[in-house]
Amino acid sequence: MISNEMRHDTNAPPILVENLTARLGDTLALNDVSLRLDSARIAVIGSNGSGKSTFARLLGGIARPTAGSIRVHDVDTVKESVALRRLVSIVFSNPDAQIVMPTVAEDVAFSLRGSGATKVEIAERVTAALAAFKLTDLADRSAHELSGGQKQLLALCGALIRRPALLIADEPTAYLDARNSAAVAGHLLHPEAGHQLVLVTHDLELAARCDTALLFDEGRVVAQGGPAEVIEAYRASLRR
């Protein structure tokens, strides 16, 4: 696990979502969602098209809401996008699209460009991060030659080296086998991780390991609470 010295105010307000609505074309992807999320690890579950990924994109400032607002550690995701970028890292299901630089070490270092860190500091942090993710031996390898699991570990490494206050992971284990899923989950759910985690997943075992869970259905949050009860609510809805 990359040590996280939490540069952010831990007393800052949690994630606050107020009357959030998002339209994608003619589809109402999110419908008047209001939430307060202060748990460290939050699972977001629900069927395909229920609004989970749209919620993650809005939370990460990648998409804009049609109405309503989100504040992450007291930063408005629309009005304060520069500040938000310093707070949030995102990992997607497809690691290929997240690789920007040719080699593994360069791709991890790329996350620190413009951070103000010196070359020496960047090199030290990259070395430590690669070691934490057991990618040291692959440092000079072409990032595009890695296996799917290694690429996702690289994407996660690139996201966490920025020491975000909030990590959003949108189905990060979707394309991975059991071994790589376990490795990615280990880093995501590490008890000493210094970041808040919002994990969008179809993997209910992974969701069960979070502190709290949200169930989305047709653009609304229909259940929120302990993972066990929210997962049971989801399973019950599938039986109907």
Partner 1 sequence: MITLYRPGHTWLHRSPAGPKSLGILVVVLAVSLLPTNWWTAGIAAAVTVPGYLASGLGIRELGRQVISIRWIITITLVGQLIFLDIESAVANTSRMSAAVLLAALLVLTTQITDLLDAFERALRPLGRLGLDPARAALMLAVAINTVPVLARLAGTVREAQQARSARSSLFTFVVPFLVVALKHADELGDALTARGIR
What single string gives the DSSP state of each residue in 19-37? EEEEEETTEEEEEEEEEEE
Question: How near is the Cβ of 238 to partner 1 at its closest, in Å?
Answer: 29
DSSP annotation string for 192-212? T--SEEEEE-S-HHHHHTSSE
The residue range among 59-67, 177-185, 201-209, 210-218 that interacts with partner 1, by the rule CB under 8 A, is 59-67
Q: Is 144 in the site for partner 1 (CB under 8 A)?
A: yes
The residue from 46, 51, 149, 158 that contacts partner 1 (CB under 8 A) is: 158
Q: Is 231 in the site for partner 1 (CB under 8 A)?
A: no
As given in the structure block, the two tokens for residue 44 are: 């977001």
Q: Would you count residue 3 as binding partner 1 (CB under 8 A)? A: no
Please give the backbone phi and psi of residue 73, each rounded to the nearest 5 degrees, phi first: 50, 45
Does 98 engage in binding with partner 1 (CB under 8 A)?
yes
Whole-number Å distance between alpha carbons of 144 and 214: 34
Candidate residues 9, 145, 177, 229; the one interacting with partner 1 per rule CB under 8 A: 145
As a whole number of angstroms, the distance between CA 166 and CA 138 comes to 27
- 196 is a site residue for partner 1 (CB under 8 A): no
Binding partner 1 (rule: CB under 8 A), the pick from 78, 110, 117, 212 is 110
Please state, in angstroms and rounded to a whole number, the distance separating the CA atoms of residues 25 and 18.
Answer: 22
Binding site for partner 1 (CB under 8 A): 57, 60-62, 81-82, 85-86, 88-92, 94, 96-103, 106, 109-111, 113-115, 140-142, 144-145, 158-159, 162
